[in-house]
Chain A
Amino acid sequence: MKSKIRMIAVMALFTLLMVLGLTNNQSQVEAASDSGTLKIGMEANYPPYNWTQTTSANGAVKIDGSKQYANGYDVQIAKLIGKYLHKNVVVEKTEWDGLLPALTSGKIDLIIAGMSPTAERRKQINFSNPYRKSSFVVIVNKDSKYAKAKTLNSFKGAKLTAQQGTLHYNLIKQLKGAVRENAMKDFSAMRQSLQSGTIDGYVAEDIEYLSYKRVNRNITAINISKMKGFKVSKSDSITSIGVKKSNTKLLAQVNQALATISTKKRNQLMATAVKQQPKAGSSQTSAEKSQPWLVKTWKQYGNMILGGVGMTLLLALVGTIAGFFIGLVVGIIRTIPTPTTAGKKAFLKVVNWLLAVYVEVFRGTPMMVQAAVIYYGIAQLWHINLNRTVAALVIVSINTGAYLAEVIRGGIISTPEGQFEAASALGMTHNQRMWHIILPQAIRNCLPSITNEFIVNIKDTSVLSIISVSELFFVGSTVASQTFEFFPTYFIISVIYLILTFTITRIFNLIEKKLAGPKNYNLMANQIQVGNPEDEVK
């Protein structure tokens, strides 16, 4: 019965939050759009539309909150729009799935990310006139039996995929008999899968074929747009700029700006972008090729990876320490004995109930979801634009706190009853008993669990890549998508993770050992025991 009430309360809390979010959405003020900067959301991982590079070459734009730069067709379009509006363009590197929430919560002003204005997306945001028209292709290996496909039915048995959350993935359904594999995160992953043979092909736009062909000559594209029976709404073969619904002024300005860019200029920009986009291994110069991959990668990305290690350690360390103190406070409060006066009793009951809800909610939902809800939720509800790192620290701390609260509560209640009694018999107050006798023992007993939590934090902070915190995994996936060296990159990243966790385990083991002290009390113990204790009694 009790747990039922608790569950209902939790659900009510969630519903309330969502309702608040929705109603607030309507009346939202225009966040950053009136200032001098124009914040552009993009993946910076979708060449030739947009990609990440380490220098400002070829007119790249700095990515907000990092030392990297973004470039590509989208970036060049953004710069032209910025110029027209007399605004400074800033790129906010955002995961594909995070683009819409980032826009509606006012974290970015525009989405320029090769996005098609689908009907579904139009429900949430407005789109400008198209800035690029394209056709759809299936990209396969040249020697594949599907390379000569002529009709939509020719793909029988082909294992096909497309990018997650895109229209491309739905188009596979029109290829009768094709097996729709799980959607993938980005083109780098699809290219890798095609090369390794885990898929037969993937659906994309012609532009992806043009780009990929430059680095891999063994592929070919089958244009399905012109095949008989292929159905796609007009809006799906174009890419447009996303603008927040309430921001009609900006939408008009963007459309005006786009009208000044001719088709010729657009094609020129795209051609340049295709040429300039990051290349995979096959087109390296001979000098680059002679260097071992590791050395080369380290030279180029070493600082980035070290930064990622630093961020991961910072998140795990601060998260575990802050979480420990949260857990300590919660654990202590939840073990306070029932007071005698009715008023205090009721107050403690309410506090305990709230803490129980906190523990249940944060222990019962994935940290990834918490990160998204909190980061975007706070922006949407209160228009507070949290710094990503701060948001990540807060999320890791309260998440760890929820786990450690239970660990510490367990440590307190598993301390022998006799320890409480002996302290009480000396006349100690509840606080004195807790701080001097019970907690030192409880925390020592909890130490293995705390170590565990620290290690979990080192690894699990990788889910914070959803809010684009540049921790180790996020850095790793960026490097992988730029070098197309998936296995070596992730292998190195995993080795780094292992070194981190291994070192920390050793350190904590040392601490534990030190706290435990020696097992035997040096020689004297034995001497006295064989001697006659009565002799020493006065």
Chain B
Amino acid sequence: MTETNQTIISLKHMQKAYGDHQVLKDINVDINKGEIVTIIGPSGGGKSTTLRCINLLEQPTGGEIDFHGENILAPGYDLNDYRAKVGMVFQQFNLFNNLDVLSNCMVGQELVLKRSKDEAKKIALENLKKVGMEPFIKAKPSQLSGGQQQRVAIARAISMDPEVLLFDEPTSALDPEMVGEVLEVMKKLATTGLTMIIVTHEMAFARDISDQVLFVADGIITEAGEPDQIFNHPQNEKLQKFLRNFRANSL
């Protein structure tokens, strides 16, 4: 939506192997500031691994990840600082079970960004309000539904003022009736100019929200382009088959 054409993250020949099993073979993509990128593709094709490598939850076994033109895989790069700037929302929410909703959104700000308690609280409350979870600030994660937990997780991530926010199948673990509330929050976020990289199975959502769609299969980006091109004029045979299957299933 916002087109500044300033590259923020660039993956160059990124590879990931577990032993002999090459999950990511050669991932190349440039992601611009403010861009909404969705990654789609068949299960086991490397979507989540790509995302987890960007946040270094998985260590790539080859290639480069450039953040503002600097290779974060180079020795001596401050990874914790990088991770603070690249937020992540997980499929399983992963709220801190020992902390209440408010503290979940404050702990990273205080420890990593060294914000004062008052400032952290103010920002956390603002963001909890954005996701509609303000009335629950004293609740423990175990007292919340999946959809509520995921909204808190989003508030936690954006409270760090990240430059990039990664979503790893944020609605896959939710009951169908809760998917809507989370997608709605994400749509609102997309309008704020935040760079977002989203792994999802929600095709309609991907089509509506994305600036760029990546189809990842067999460890490579098989096809990339704008939503209209990917969903309405797919070139690659695998993508065509994937979309056919998906349409058949959704009926």
Binding site for B on A (CB under 8 A): 416, 418-419, 421-429, 432, 436-437, 440-441, 444, 517-521, 524-525, 528-529, 533-538
Q: B143 touches which one: A421, A428, A436, A525 (CB < 8 A)?
A: A525
Q: B83 touches which one: A425, A536, A537 (CB < 8 A)?
A: A425
Q: Interface SS of chain A: helix, strand, loop or mixed?
A: helix
A528 to B128, CA, bound (A): 14
A429 to B78, CA, bound (A): 11
* A100 CB to nearest B CB, Å: 54
Q: Is B220 close to A, CB under 8 A?
A: no
New contact pairs (12) apart from A426-B87, A428-B80, A528-B148, CB-CB < 8 Å: A421-B94, A425-B55, A425-B57, A425-B157, A426-B107, A426-B156, A441-B98, A521-B140, A525-B136, A525-B139, A533-B151, A537-B185
**Are A419 and B108 in contact (CB-based, < 8 A)?**
no
Chain B positions 80-95 with a Cβ under 8 Å from a chain A Cβ = 80-88, 90, 92-95
Beyond A425-B57, A534-B180, A537-B185, whether A437 also contacts B136 by CB under 8 A is no
**Are B135 and A427 in contact (CB-based, < 8 A)?**
no
A421 to B156, CA, bound (A): 14
**Are A427 and B108 in contact (CB-based, < 8 A)?**
yes
Beyond A441-B97, A441-B98, A533-B151, whether A424 also contacts B57 by CB under 8 A is yes
**B-side contacts of A528, CB under 8 Å:** 132, 135-136, 148
Task: Give the most central of A422, A444, A534: most B CB within 10 Å.
Answer: A422
**Are B132 and A533 in contact (CB-based, < 8 A)?**
yes
CB 8 Å contact bits of B93-121 with A (1 = contact, 0 = none): 11111110000000110011000000000
**Are B90 and A533 in contact (CB-based, < 8 A)?**
no
* B158 CB to nearest A CB, Å: 12
Beyond A517-B140, A529-B145, whether A427 also contacts B112 by CB under 8 A is yes
Closest A residue to B131 using CB positions: A537
**Are B130 and A538 in contact (CB-based, < 8 A)?**
yes
**Are A419 and B147 in contact (CB-based, < 8 A)?**
no
Q: B96 touches which one: A422, A518, A525 (CB < 8 A)?
A: A422
Binding site for A on B (CB under 8 A): 55, 57, 80-88, 90, 92-99, 107-108, 111-112, 129-132, 134-136, 138-140, 143-145, 147-148, 151, 153, 156-157, 160, 180-181, 184-185, 188
A381 to B11, CA, bound (A): 64
* A413 CB to nearest B CB, Å: 16
**A-side contacts of B82, CB under 8 Å:** 427
**Are A521 and B160 in contact (CB-based, < 8 A)?**
no
**Are B98 and A421 in contact (CB-based, < 8 A)?**
no
3 nearest A-B pairs in the assembled complex, by CB-CB distance: A536-B132, A427-B84, A426-B108
**A-side contacts of B143, CB under 8 Å:** 518-521, 525
* A515 CB to nearest B CB, Å: 9
Listed A/B pairs (17) with beta-carbon separation below 8 Å: A419-B94, A421-B88, A421-B90, A422-B95, A422-B153, A425-B83, A425-B157, A426-B83, A428-B80, A521-B139, A521-B143, A525-B144, A528-B135, A528-B148, A533-B184, A534-B181, A537-B188
**Are B184 and A534 in contact (CB-based, < 8 A)?**
yes
**A-side contacts of B107, CB under 8 Å:** 426, 436-437
A426 to B85, CA, bound (A): 8
* A532 CB to nearest B CB, Å: 9
Q: B92 touches which one: A418, A432, A535 (CB < 8 A)?
A: A418
* A412 CB to nearest B CB, Å: 13
Closest B residue to A423 using CB positions: B96
**A-side contacts of B84, CB under 8 Å:** 426-427
**A-side contacts of B160, CB under 8 Å:** 426-427
* A293 CB to nearest B CB, Å: 53
A538 to B187, CA, bound (A): 11
Closest B residue to A440 using CB positions: B98
Q: A437 touches which one: B86, B96, B180 (CB < 8 A)?
A: B96
Closest B residue to A529 using CB positions: B145
**A-side contacts of B95, CB under 8 Å:** 422
* B163 CB to nearest A CB, Å: 12
A440 to B140, CA, bound (A): 14
**Are A521 and B98 in contact (CB-based, < 8 A)?**
no
**A-side contacts of B140, CB under 8 Å:** 517, 521
**B-side contacts of A416, CB under 8 Å:** 94
**Are A421 and B136 in contact (CB-based, < 8 A)?**
no
**Are A424 and B136 in contact (CB-based, < 8 A)?**
no
**Are B136 and A427 in contact (CB-based, < 8 A)?**
no
Task: Give the most central of B87, B143, B153: most A CB within 10 Å.
Answer: B143
A536 to B131, CA, bound (A): 7
Beyond A418-B90, A424-B57, A426-B112, whether A537 also contacts B97 by CB under 8 A is no
A429 to B81, CA, bound (A): 10
**Are A436 and B130 in contact (CB-based, < 8 A)?**
no
A427 to B156, CA, bound (A): 13
A452 to B91, CA, bound (A): 36
Q: B81 touches which one: A424, A427, A432 (CB < 8 A)?
A: A427
**Are B135 and A524 in contact (CB-based, < 8 A)?**
yes
**Are A429 and B135 in contact (CB-based, < 8 A)?**
no
A419 to B93, CA, bound (A): 10
Q: A427 touches which one: B80, B130, B148, B185 (CB < 8 A)?
A: B80
Closest A residue to B181 using CB positions: A533
Closest A residue to B57 using CB positions: A421
A424 to B90, CA, bound (A): 12
* A198 CB to nearest B CB, Å: 56
**Are A427 and B83 in contact (CB-based, < 8 A)?**
yes
**Are A425 and B98 in contact (CB-based, < 8 A)?**
no
A528 to B157, CA, bound (A): 22
**A-side contacts of B138, CB under 8 Å:** 521
Task: Give the most central of B107, B132, B148: most A CB within 10 Å.
Answer: B132
A525 to B136, CA, bound (A): 7
**B-side contacts of A428, CB under 8 Å:** 80, 108, 111-112
* A41 CB to nearest B CB, Å: 54
